[in-house]
Amino acid sequence: MIKDLNQLMAYIEAHLTQELSLSEAAKTVGISEYHLKRTFSFIAGISLVEYIKNRRLAQANTDLVNGASVTDVAFNYQYQSVEGFSRAFREWSGFLPSEVIKNHQQKSFPQRSFYMDIKGGVSMDFKIEKKDAFHLVGVSKQVPLQFEGVNEAIQTLAQEITEKQKTEMHELGDLYPHQVLNASYAFDGERMEEKGTLTHFIGFATTQENPFDDLKQLQVAEQTWAIFPNKGPFPQTLQDTWGKIYSEWLPSSDYELVQAPEISFSNFAEGLEKCSSEIWIAVKEK
């Protein structure tokens, strides 16, 4: 993964002045665009879209200092108008492009590179488990893609589940963990903006076919799953585990992601401070 990310950085550098497709960029890493964005964000501490924007503006800054016109620089770095470029440049640097030309003011944002920093003393519990195909039955909704913070659309979906639907889901839920699961899948994003949607499913795992008109059913194929149990304050511990999966476990493991729903669940029996959770991600050996 580290080698792949450095290849991605080289690909981005070669396309700063061209239309840059994140779907094509994802092919250099060998994962989906959605997983690329998540992996990069966790490892680099900045979204991929923000990184590309900052690299373009930093190079634009250099070009302006070297005598290029604002108009040429704006269109060279794929902005649709001089006004749009000037606004983005000022938000990023704190000064206008014309001030750069006049005063040679500069702000840098170096190209990023990745390496493995192995640190002792921190372990991560996980298990690899093959599961037969199963169904998820519950409710689902297409929600805005959001990598950080609380997704209010998902919260609304959960709050809209009726008592009747809850009873029906419990009746069908005959598979572990015999409680509510959250699953995210079907990412559909725009190429160069932190925009897009995914489908979020809230429901139970079951071997049964769904007979209820007010519930939806999602078929989950037979997969090998990497399962990460965690326990601690909610939601911090769960979110930290997601981050470690992408920034620490995946780059150093013998596995790579498979296109499948990402599944998680939490048990609040001991309260928010001692919440037990699990994260499932579908994988295959490299």
- Cα 145 to Cα 204: distance, rounded to the nearest angstrom: 23
The answer to whether the predicted template modeling score (pTM) of the entire model surpasses 0.85 is no
- Cα 226 to Cα 246: distance, rounded to the nearest angstrom: 12
CATH of 2-103, one of 1.10.10.10, 3.60.15.10, 3.30.70.100, 1.10.10.60: 1.10.10.60
User: Of 22, 11, 5, whose CA–CA distance to 196 is shortest?
Assistant: 22
pLDDT of residue 226: 94
CATH number 3.20.80.10 is the correct assignment for the domain at 127-285? yes
Same fold, 2-103 and 127-285: no
Q: What is the mean pLDDT of each run of 10 residues along the chain (286 residues)?
A: 81 92 83 78 81 94 94 95 95 92 88 62 77 97 75 91 97 96 78 66 97 97 95 86 81 84 93 93 91
pLDDT of residue 120: 43
> What confidence tens digit (pLDDT) does each residue in 55-69 have?
999 999 999 999 999
Give the start-to-end residue ranges of the domains of the chain.
2-103, 127-285
Both tokens of 141, joined, read 């909704």
Per DSSP, the three-state class of 158 is helix
